């Protein structure tokens, strides 16, 4: 089967690509409007792209034809965001936080999670997340109606027990979930295997 994407609608292209290019990590992104209103939403068009400088990118789209999603609006106004990784215990709340709420409404209000202050930026991080990356926007690319926010990671917070102080992950303890076929499928990462690389 072959799909020629140029003859398909953006919605069809999205369904095909987002279902096939999997599993994808999920960035659970907290931002602030600068007036004390926090915002959290998940984005699976996301990855890490380098370490010098430490680079991440994710792609928040538009709410409608003209209005960027709240996450993108907040980053445009103050350049700060926190990317959290999500494990299965947080998966339901993560999906609930994708609800499209009015600008300035905190998706995590009354969800029983705790915000902690960050070290480098004024946006808070979610203490229950296994990993939190404090990021500053480097630049944002707009390509067609896609928006790619590129960020530099300044500080990494890792839950106790996951990693040694020299940055080595302990075996069998870190299980972020991943996005699978669009719209509602996810994968666990409990079944992992090792292959040694050639010298
Ligand atoms: C697992 C998951 C992944 C998502 N990935 C993206 C994405 O990569 N880009 C995007 O624009 N929306 C994505 N969404 C939808 C946004 O989370 C949703 O539009 C949210 O309301 C945006 O919130 P905001 O307006 O507060 O920024 C995803 C939703 C879920 C549940």
- 11: in domain: no
| Protein residue with least CA distance to atom 4, ligand 1 | 43
**Which residue from 71, 51, 56, 45 is spatially nearest to 143, judged by alpha carbons?**
45
| Protein residue with least CA distance to atom 31, ligand 1 | 95
Pocket probe for ligand 1: among 44, 103, 186, the residue whose CB has the most ligand atoms within 8 Å is: 44
On whether the CB atoms of residues 31 and 77 are closer than 8 A, the answer is: no
User: Cis (ω within 30 of 0) for the bond into 53?
Assistant: yes
Phi, psi angle pair for 39, to nearest 5°: -140, 135
- 194: in domain: no
Distance of CA 64 to the CA centre of its chain: 21
- 147: in domain: yes
What's the rounded Cα separation, in Å, for the pair 159 and 175? 12
Q: Which domain holds residue 93?
A: 24-181
CA–centroid distance, residue 118 to ligand 1 (Å): 23
What's the rounded Cα separation, in Å, for the pair 139 and 76? 10
What's the rounded Cα separation, in Å, for the pair 83 and 123? 11
Pocket of ligand 1 from Cβ distances under 6 Å: 26, 39, 41-45, 59-61, 69-71, 95, 98, 100, 179
**What's the structural domain count of the chain?**
1
Q: Render each residue's pLDDT in the chain as its tens digit; 199 residues.
A: 999 999 999 999 999 999 999 999 999 999 999 898 999 999 999 999 999 999 999 999 999 888 999 999 999 999 999 999 999 999 999 999 999 999 999 999 999 999 999 999 999 999 999 999 999 999 999 999 999 999 999 999 999 999 999 999 999 999 999 999 989 999 999 999 999 999 9
């Amino acid at each position: 089967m072959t799909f020629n994407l140029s003859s398909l609608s953006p919605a069809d292209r999205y369904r095909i690509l987002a279902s096939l290019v999997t599993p994808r990590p999920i960035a659970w992104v907290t931002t602030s409007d600068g007036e004390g209103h926090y915002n959290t939403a998940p984005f699976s068009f996301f990855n890490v792209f380098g370490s010098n400088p430490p680079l991440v990118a994710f792609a928040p789209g538009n709410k409608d034809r003209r209005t960027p999603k709240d996450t993108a609006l907040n980053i445009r106004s103050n350049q700060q965001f926190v990317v959290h990784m999500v494990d299965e215990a947080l998966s339901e709340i993560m999906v609930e936080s994708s609800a499209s709420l009015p600008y300035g409404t905190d998706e995590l209000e009354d969800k029983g999670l705790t915000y902690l202050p960050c070290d480098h930026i004024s946006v808070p991080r979610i203490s229950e997340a296994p990993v939190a990356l404090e990021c500053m926007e480097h630049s944002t690319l707009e390509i067609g109606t896609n928006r790619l926010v590129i960020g530099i990671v300044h500080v990494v917070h890792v839950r106790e027990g996951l990693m040694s102080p020299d940055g080595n992950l302990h075996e069998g303890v870190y299980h972020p979930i991943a996005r699978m076929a669009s719209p509602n499928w996810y994968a666990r990462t409990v079944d992992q295997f090792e292959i040694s690389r050639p010298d």
